[in-house]
Amino acid sequence: MVAWSVQLSEFDISFERRGHVRAQELAYFVTELTLEYEQVQGDWYLSVDGSSNQTGSRARVIFEGPNGILIEQSLHFDFKASNNQAEYEALLAGMRLALEIEAK
C-alpha cells in the first residue's frame, strides 16, 4: 500500500480505503438486479441461420423475448459442415439455450 501511495502522490492522487459493506446492502443490491419471474413470462421467438464456405461453418442464434429482451449468439464450428448442417447445429444450440433460460 505504501508503494501505491508514493506512486499515486506523483499525480496528486490519494488512496482512500473503502468502508465495510454490510451483508444487508449486498442483499439489497441483488434484489434490485434480479428480474421478477412474472416480468419474463411470455413468448420467446428463436431465429437461427447457418452458413458454410471454404473457411468454415458458422451459425447465428437470436432469441427475442418479452419486454424487449434480445439474446444473440454467434457460433463457429471447427468441423466442415453444409449449410443445412450448420443450421441444424444452430437449432440445437438454440434449443439448449432455451432450456438454460427456461424459455417457453
Please count the structural domains in the chain: 1
Sequence-ordered list of residues with C-beta below 8 angstroms from that of 90, at least 6 positions apart, any chain: 48, 49, 50, 59, 60, 61, 75
pLDDT at 26: 65
- List, for residues 28-49, the tens digit of each pLDDT value: 767 776 655 554 577 888 888 8
Inter-CA distances, 102 with 4, 22, 80, 98, Å: 47, 33, 31, 6
This prediction has a pTM of: 0.55
Q: What is the mean pLDDT of residues 67-78?
A: 83
DSSP state at residue 18? P
State the Cα angle at 24 between 19 and 37, rounded to 5°. 135
Domain that holds residue 40: 2-101
pLDDT at residue 24 greater than cutoff 70: no
Q: Which of 28-37, 45-54, 57-66 has the lowest mean pLDDT?
A: 28-37
